[in-house]
Amino acid sequence: MGKVRVAGFSLSLDGYGAGLHQDLENPIGVRGLEIMRWFFETKVFQAMHGQSGGAAGVDNDFASRAFENVGAWILGRNMFGPIRGTWGDESWKGWWGDTPPYHTPVFVLTHYARAPLVMNGGTTFYFVTDGLQSALEQAREAANGKDVRIGGGVSTIRGYLRMGAIDEMHLVLSPVLLGEGEHLFGGLNLPQLGFGQVEAFPGENATHMVLKKS
């Protein structure tokens, strides 16, 4: 069976995985995109957007590994979009245009039912209204032996951490202070949740931390 993992998830030095006040202009909250700068500069990111540029190196290697062997994704509602409440006219299809960078089934946690949304390139968004455990079971089945990647955001990761469901986390610490936002670790005791080992790898624009269960 594949792993359940968090990968390429960016944090500020003060521990925030997103800023506040998400909206169309600020998909990760105000100043949230600053913590992802390491990713935007990689070849992997540029290629995802049809560009040939971008940097090779440690940051790029980790970005690449984050997408390897992933058979299904789980996203929180806010990571899928800024809409709250019902889906309205269902015109919102995610932040990523017609060809999202997932290329697998993606299970979106929501309180509001919606029919599956088939996108180009192999991505289908399934809207799961019966909770984290159900989404995980569906994602595991869809992944068919490959890994399930918990994409985020912060509250989704925290939910799966509390369930003890996450096997491995690759977090990327950016040299940025947000001051406020969604804190990944606040109130969680990671050693108590089973995480005993941390390995650090300096990248070009951020530090990569791999947390494993002991």
Name which of 50 and 187 has its Cβ closer to a second copy. Answer: 187
Residue 32: both structure tokens together: 């949230």
Pairwise CA distance, residues 10 & 117, whole Å: 27
**The one among 108, 127, 173, 182 contacting a second copy by CB under 8 A:** 173
Element (H, E) at 198: strand 195-202
Question: Nearest CA to 99 among 46, 42, 50, 51?
Answer: 50
Interacting positions 195-214 with a second copy (CB under 8 A): 195-196, 198-200, 202, 206-207, 209, 211
Binding to a second copy, residues 29-88 (CB under 8 A): none
- 157-101-65 Cα angle (round to 5): 65
Q: Compose the 4-23 pattern: x for residues touching a second copy by CB under 8 A, - for all others.
A: ---------xxx--------
Query: Should residue 28 be labelled a site residue for a second copy when binding is judged by CB under 8 A?
Result: no
CA distance 134 to 187: 25
Residues 6+ apart with CB under 8 A from 120: 98, 99
Q: Binding a second copy by CB under 8 A: which of 72, 159, 176, 182? A: 176
Binding site for a second copy (CB under 8 A): 13-15, 171, 173, 175-180, 185-186, 189-192, 195-196, 198-200, 202, 206-207, 209, 211
